[in-house]
Structure 1
Amino acid sequence: MTVYEYGAKTLQGKEIPLSIYEGKVLLIVNTASKCGLTPQYKALQELYDQYHEHGLEILGFPSNQFAKQEPGSSEEISEFCQINYGVSFPMFAKTDVNGDQAHPLFRYLTQTAPGVLGSKAIKWNFTKFLITREGNVFKRYAPQTTPDKLAGDIEKLLQEK
């Protein structure tokens, strides 16, 4: 299995297959608008601006599962991201990333790349998964790992054809 087996709804409500990103390096992030880590949106957008033309896609998945820090509607999330951080990378509909209602993509990601001590759960907002051009999980990053710290790994994957 790869991430390309899954699909997700955008903030605009359109269901898209992740296979449209085949051949790209992906950074999949669960996000929130009212979190202490929310300023990472700015650094994510900077990564996107720097590497998008070289084959990077960042996919944001808002989640309200951590202290209810993503309470807004799809429209409110979209507006918040655009106005406050100029987010232009794809954002998806609010998503459960843990538990019985977890999106199948996040079940796959957490099974494939467990966290600290083998934990399958996502611990907080802004957990990041870097995906190879072939759709395989390369690495999982903790919420506190700032996006700029991923640049070396992103460059490495972008150079692999």
Structure 2
Amino acid sequence: MTLLRREALVLLGAAFAGGARAASSQGRAGAFAFDRPEGGTMPLSAYAGRPVLVVNTATACGFAGQLAGLQTLWTRFQERGLTVIGVPSPDFGNQEPLDGPAIAEAARKNHGVTFPLTAKTRVKMPGAHPFYQWAAAEKPGETPRWNFHKYLVARDGALAAAFATQVEPTDPRVISAIAAELDKA
């Protein structure tokens, strides 16, 4: 079964299983919400009209140094409207061993992170969070293959770009894509 067909079946299955949010998103990220580590939800609709960089993270990953680069982006572009959201995930080698607020504390203490982090979340198919199911359908060849995969959501809620793990947050391609979305104000 091809990857695209499998992902479409996962989306269809989510709709029938009560996860209609994934199937009814109509191409916009604002239809989704993540759980917060301290409880409650973080709806992406709260960031409507702003570009959002969504990154699956892991504090025990060899790429965890990218948390500092994500913080650099947040510090540099937050006042212009960018939101950075870290999505801790255990999917790749269980490199996120912590839970709840301990993840945010480790990211803050070890990497200076002040941008929002979600509760630990599945990002890999099958069983991925509905946002990641939607993103996989929007950009089928650009799904997370490891920690620190980056999705840039445009001001209008569409998926603007995806960047693989190896692309540093401060890479000129990431900065150019963010700047282009910020300039669409």
User: What is the CA-CA distance between 1:15 and the residue it aligns to?
Assistant: 1.1
**Poorly superposed stretches of 4+, deviation over 3 Å:** none
Q: What is the TM-score with the length of structure 1 in the denominator?
A: 0.94
Tell me the residue number matched to 2:179: 155
User: What is the CA-CA distance between 1:25 and the residue it aligns to?
Assistant: 0.5
User: What is the CA-CA distance between 1:16 and the residue it aligns to?
Assistant: 2.7
Contact 1:32–1:38, Cα closer than 8 Å, also in 2: yes
Match of 1:59 among 80, 85, 93: 85
What residue ranges of structure 2 are gaps of 5+ in the alignment?
A: 1-25
Letter in 1 for 2:164: A
**1:26 and 2:52 correspond:** yes
Contact 2:32–2:131, Cα closer than 8 Å, also in 1: yes
Aligned length in residues: 157
Tell me the residue number matched to 1:144: 166
* Matched residue SS, 2:87: strand
Determine the C-alpha separation between the residues in 1 that align with 2:123 and 2:165. Answer: 14
* Matched residue SS, 1:147: coil
Q: What is the TM-score with the length of structure 2 in the denominator?
A: 0.82
- Give matches, 1:34-49, under 5 Å: 34-49=60-75
Alpha-carbon displacement from aligned partner over 1:77-126 (angstroms, at most 9, x marks no partner): 1110110111111100100011332100110011111235xxxx421000
User: What is the CA-CA distance between 1:152 and the residue it aligns to?
Assistant: 1.1
Tell me the residue number matched to 2:3: none
**1:85 and 2:107 correspond:** no
* Matched residue SS, 1:129: strand
Contact 1:115–1:122, Cα closer than 8 Å, also in 2: no
Q: Choose 70-79 or 34-43, whichever is displaced more.
A: 70-79
Determine the C-alpha separation between the residues in 2 that align with 1:155 and 1:20. Answer: 21
Determine the C-alpha separation between the residues in 1 that align with 2:125 and 2:169. Answer: 26
Determine the C-alpha separation between the residues in 1 that align with 2:39 and 2:107. Answer: 17
Q: CA RMSD in A?
A: 1.1
**1:102 and 2:124 correspond:** no
**1:130 and 2:152 correspond:** yes
What residue ranges of structure 1 are gaps of 5+ in the alignment?
A: none
Contact 1:115–1:140, Cα closer than 8 Å, also in 2: no
**1:68 and 2:94 correspond:** yes
State the identity %: 35
* Matched residue SS, 2:55: strand
Tell me the residue number matched to 2:14: none
Letter in 1 for 2:80: H
* Matched residue SS, 2:170: helix
Determine the C-alpha separation between the residues in 2 that align with 1:154 and 1:114. Answer: 21
